[in-house]
Structure 1
Amino acid sequence: MTISLQPGVNLTVIPTEKFKTIRLFFRFSTEHQKKTAAKRTLLTNLLETNSLHYPFQTKLSEKLAELYGASFGLNVGKKGNLHQVNLMMNLVNEKYLNEEGILEEGIKFIQEILFHPNIKEDAFDFDTFQLEKENMIDYLESLKEDKQTLAALRLQELYFMDEDQKTPSFGTKEDIQSLDAYDLVQTYQEMIMQDQVDIFVVGDIAEEKVSRAIRRLPFTPRNTFSPKMFYQQELKSEVQTETIYEPVIQAKLNLAYRTSIYYNDPRRFSLLVFNGLFGGFPHSKLFTNVREKASLAYYASSAFDSFRGFVTVQTGIDRKNRSRVLSLIEEQLEDLKEGHFTENDLQQTKVMLKNQFLLSLDSAQGLIEMTYLERRLSKLVKDETEFEEKIMAVTKEDVKKVAEDLQLQAIFTLDKKEEAYE
C-alpha cells in the first residue's frame, strides 16, 4: 500500500511475516550536485550524533536502549542523477512483547531527529559541528589509503564528462573544508522542506496503524517535480587514459565501458547474465582466465551501474603485466561477443542470479529498494517467478548483443614509480 501524505511525501507499507522486527526507512531525494553532496553527507553525521532534546550521543543511545535495543542510522547514496539521504530504524515488533506503543515511540524518536536538530541561533551546535567536520575530513583523507577505492573513484572522474557525476555521493574534502555551522542549517532546511520523501515500513504490522502514526510527522507539501533518475552520456570519440603513481605494492588497472542498457530496459536481464559471465561470479571469464589460469591478477571482476549506463572492470596486478592483462580482458569480451561460452556456464550464471534475487527478498532493505524502484520506474517483474522466467529466457544471442553494445571509454592505472622498484 502506498499513500500520499503530502504532495511529494509518500508512505509505502510492506506487510510481511518474514521478520521479527519492524524497519522504518525514510529517503530524501534531490538532484545530485557537487556543490551539495558533501554538505548533505556532513548533515547526516550531525543528525545521527545528537538533537535539540538529546544534546549528547549518550542520551540518544539511552533512548534507543529503552526501545529494546532499537538500531538507528543515516547515510547518503546516489542513484543516477539523484542524491539520497537515508534514515533507517529497526524496532522489535511489539507482538513479541507484553508492551504496546513501541512503533509510536520509534516514530517520535525519528521526529526528534528530523524536526528538532541541535540548532541554536541559526547554527548547528559548534562543538558537534567541528568534531563531525574533522571526522569527515579524516575519513575522506583515509580513502587515499584504500587503493582499490581510490582507483574506482579516479576511474569515475576519468569516465564522466559531467562534474556532478564525477563527484561521489559523499562529496570531496575540498568542499567540506570551507563549511561552517551556519551553512548546514540551510542545507537541512532545503532537505526537510524541498526533497522528495519516500517512507517505507516493513514488517508484520497493520497498515492502518502505521499510517495513523506516520501522519503525525509534520511534513509540509513540496514540489512534486523530481529530476530524471537516469544519467546518459554521449559516446567519446577517443578512449580516455590516465596513470597516477603512488607507493603501492599492487598496481590497479580499471576499465570503463558505456552501455545503452538501463534499469527499465527489458535487456537488463541480458545485461545481468552478461555481467555474470564476464566478471560477476567465480566462474566468470575474468576470474577464471585472467586470475586463475593466467595468474595475471590478484583479483579481476566486473560490475555495472544501470542508472548511468556504466560497466566497469577492476583488477589488481603486477605492473609488469599491465599490457598482457589489458589484452586478456579484451579477449574475454571478444569471446562473449562471439558466443564462446558453454551452455553449462550460461545455465550456472542464471541459477546464481536467481538465487541472488531470492536472497534479496529475504532482506527488509532488499524489499524496500525493489519497491522504491517499482514506484519510480516501470515494473519489469511482478514476483520471483517472473524474474526467474525472464532470466531463464536469456539466450546466447542476447548475451552476444550485450557484449557488442559495450564501448570502451576509459582506462585508469594506479602504478608505482619505476625507481621504487630499484
Structure 2
Amino acid sequence: MTYELNKNVNLHVFPTNKYKTVRLLVRFAAPLNKETSSKRSLLASLMETNSLNFPNQTAISKKLSDLYGAGFGIGISRNGNQHYFTVGLNIINDNLVPSGTSVLESGVEFLKEVIFSPHIIDGAFDQETFLREKENLIEYIDSIFDDKQTYAALSLQNLFFNRSSSQKTPSFGDIDSIKEETAASLASYYQEMIATDKVDIMVIGDVAEGYVQRVFKDFGFTDRENIATPLFYQQPFQNIIHQKMEQLPVVQSKLNLAYHCDIYYYDDLYFALMIFNGLFGGFPHSKLFLNVREKHSLAYYASSSLEPFRGLVTVQTGIDGKNREKVLRLINEQLRELVAGKVTNEALDQTKVMLKNHYLLGQDNQRNLMEQAYLKLKVPAADITQEEWIARLDAVTIQDVQEVAKHVRLQAVYFMEGEEN
C-alpha cells in the first residue's frame, strides 16, 4: 500500500510475516550528475557517522544497541539516469520485545534525527568530522587503483560512455570534485537534497499498514516538485569501436569488452536477454567459460554481465597479454554462435533452471525484495507475480536468444597489459 505523505514524498508498506526483522528505507532520488554524485557520496559518509545529537560513532552505536542491535547504514547507488541516496535501518519486530515497547517508533525517531538533524552548526558541517570523512573517502577512491579488476571495469566504462561525463563517473564521484568541497558547500547541498529530491520511504516486515502510516505521518518532509528524469540511459550506437591499452604492474593482463545493447529492464526481450547473458558468460556452462577458459585455456577467468538500465553488456577476462588477439577473436566467435542459434536445448534449459533458482533465492532475501519493490514502482512492467515471471522465462526460445544476440554490438575494448618486470 502506498500513502502520500507530501507531494512527491511517498510511504510504501509491504506487510509480510516471512521475517523476524523489519527493514525501513528512506531513498532520495535525483538526476545523475557528475558534480552532485561526489557531494552525495561525501554526504553519505558524514551522515552515517554522526548527527547533531549523536556527535560520533560511539553515540550512534549505543543508540543502535538500545534498539536491540539494529543495523544502520547510508549508501549511494545509481540506476540509469538516476542517483540514489539511501538511508536504511533494520530493526527487530515489535512482537519479539516486551509489551509496551515500540522499536518501530523508536527506529523512526532515530531516522528522523539522522536525516533532519545532521551535525551542521552555523551553516557548515562540523569541521573536524568533515575533514576526517573527506580524507577517508579520498583514500577509499584512491585504493580502487590497487584493485585492478575494478580499475579495468571503470576504465572500460570511461570508454563506453565517452559522450556522457555523468555516466562514466562512478556513483561515488571523483576525487577532484570531492577535494573542492567545503563544510559549508556540503551543508548547502544537504539542504537542497532534503528540499528537492523525490523521496520514497519503504517498510517491509510483519507490520500493520495503518500503524506504520501513523508513525510516519509527521516525519518532516515538505512538498517538492517532480523532476522528470527518465530512468533508462539510452546511448546511440556508434560505428567506432573505442579502444584503450595501458601497461601496468600486474601479473595478469585484463581484456574487457563493452557491447551496446538497446534492450532494457522488462522490455519485451528482457527475459531472453537474461538467458542470452547466462549462455554467453553468466554461468559456468556458458560459452565464454567453457570455450575461452576451459577448452582453449586462454583465460584465468571469463564472464559477462548486464546493465539493463544503461543498455550495456560487458565481458571481463584475465589473460596472458600475448594471447590478446586470440582471446578477442574467440570471444567474438562465441557471440556469432549465439547469433546463429548454436545453442543446445540442454544448455537453454540449464540456464533457465539457474535463473529460476537465483530468482527464488532472492524472494527470501528482505533487502532484495525491497529493491524489487522499489523498481516495480519505477517500472510498472516489472510488477508481475512469481508465476508470471517463471512463465515468461520458460517461454523464451533459442530464436529469442538469437534475436537478442543481434542487438549486442561491440562498442569498446580496454586492455590492461602486465609489465614484463
Q: Give aligned pairs, total.
A: 419
Q: Deviations over 1:331-386 (max 9, x none)?
A: 11011111112101000100111111111111112111111111111234521111
Q: 2:410 pairs with 408, 411, 414, which one?
A: 408
Give the counterpart letter for 2:348 in structure 1: L
Q: Tell me the equivalent position of 1:58.
A: 58
Name the SS for the 1:210 alignment partner.
helix
Give the counterpart letter for 2:349 in structure 1: Q
Taking only the aligned residue pairs, the percentage that are identical comes to 48
Name the SS for the 1:307 alignment partner.
coil
Q: 2:225 pairs with 223, 243, 251, which one?
A: 223
Give the counterpart letter for 1:170 in structure 2: F
Trace 1:73-222 onto structure 2 (pairs within 5 A): 73-99=73-99, 100-160=101-161, 161-222=163-224
Name the SS for the 1:327 alignment partner.
helix
2:320 aligned with 1:318 = yes
Residues of 2 paired with 1:42 and 1:106: CA distance?
A: 24
Report deviation, 1:243.
0.6
Q: Deviations over 1:292-328 (max 9, x none)?
A: 1111111111011111101100001110111111011
Q: Deviations over 1:36-56 (max 9, x none)?
A: 111100000000010001112
Q: Tell me the equivalent position of 2:280.
A: 278
Name the SS for the 2:150 alignment partner.
helix
Residues of 2 paired with 1:338 and 1:131: CA distance?
A: 56
Residues of 1 paired with 2:326 and 2:383: CA distance?
A: 41
2:43 aligned with 1:43 = yes
Trace 1:342-361 onto structure 2 (pairs within 5 A): 342-361=344-363
Name the SS for the 1:218 alignment partner.
coil
Trace 1:371-382 onto structure 2 (pairs within 5 A): 371-382=373-384
Residues of 1 paired with 2:193 and 2:159: CA distance?
A: 30
- Which stretch of structure 1 is more off in the superposition, 311-320 or 91-100? 91-100
Residues of 1 paired with 2:305 and 2:279: CA distance?
A: 11
Q: Deviations over 1:143-191 (max 9, x none)?
A: 0000000000010100012111111100011111121111111121111
Residues of 2 paired with 1:159 and 1:25: CA distance?
A: 32
Aligned 8 A contact 2:341 2:399 in 1: yes
Residues of 1 paired with 2:400 and 2:52: CA distance?
A: 56
Runs of 4+ off more than 6 Å = none
Residues of 2 paired with 1:216 and 1:316: CA distance?
A: 53
Residues of 2 paired with 1:295 and 1:74: CA distance?
A: 42
2:260 aligned with 1:253 = no
Give the counterpart letter for 1:110 in structure 2: L
Aligned 8 A contact 1:12 1:201 in 2: yes
Give the counterpart letter for 2:146 in structure 1: E
Report deviation, 1:240.
0.4
Aligned 8 A contact 1:264 1:378 in 2: no
Residues of 2 paired with 1:199 and 1:282: CA distance?
A: 38
2:265 aligned with 1:263 = yes
Q: Tell me the equivalent position of 1:338.
A: 340
Give the counterpart letter for 1:302 in structure 2: S
Give the counterpart letter for 2:142 in structure 1: E
Aligned 8 A contact 2:376 2:383 in 1: no
Alignment RMSD (CA, Å): 0.9
Residues of 2 paired with 1:13 and 1:243: CA distance?
A: 49
Aligned 8 A contact 2:375 2:382 in 1: no
Name the SS for the 1:308 alignment partner.
coil
Report deviation, 1:29.
0.4
Aligned 8 A contact 1:266 1:380 in 2: no
Give the counterpart letter for 1:196 in structure 2: K
Report deviation, 1:14.
0.7
Residues of 1 paired with 2:246 and 2:177: CA distance?
A: 23
Q: Tell me the equivalent position of 1:243.
A: 245
Aligned 8 A contact 1:159 1:256 in 2: yes
The unaligned stretches of length 5 or more in structure 1 are none
Aligned 8 A contact 2:9 2:223 in 1: yes
Residues of 2 paired with 1:218 and 1:267: CA distance?
A: 42
